[in-house]
Amino acid sequence: RARAEAMQEAANTAPQGSLSLAGLDEAKIKKFCEQAVTETGADEVCQIAGYMFQRGFIVGGTRAAVEKCQALCKKAKAQQLELAKVAIAGHTPLMAAAAARLEAALLEV
């Protein structure tokens, strides 16, 4: 429960999102993430947050940057391109506050 609450609190700090996609190589996705941040603003976050399988990835970050990355990936003919219904950018710097809060809760156990 503490983990879920901490993650939700961190998610409430800024609109976030996650994107699953397949069919592009890691270097191209990293390039698109960087381009998305450049085009949406320096305070935005976009990065590979998980690896599903070879050429299958999860991208997470701020909503605007993830949506921009989605558009870039679509233009590059990515497959299975889908924004997650859950608006939490797990495994990104946006969850740093959640990690600290969970660590504190675990130390109390």
Residues 98-109: pLDDT tens digits?
Answer: 777 777 777 787
Q: What is the mean pLDDT of residues 56-78?
A: 96
Task: With a cut of 80, say whether residue 91 has pLDDT above it.
Answer: no
Q: What is the mean pLDDT of the chain?
A: 88
For 1, other C-beta atoms within 10 Å of its C-beta total 6
For the whole prediction, is pTM greater than 0.85?
A: no
- Band (pLDDT 50/70/90 cuts) for residue 23 is very high
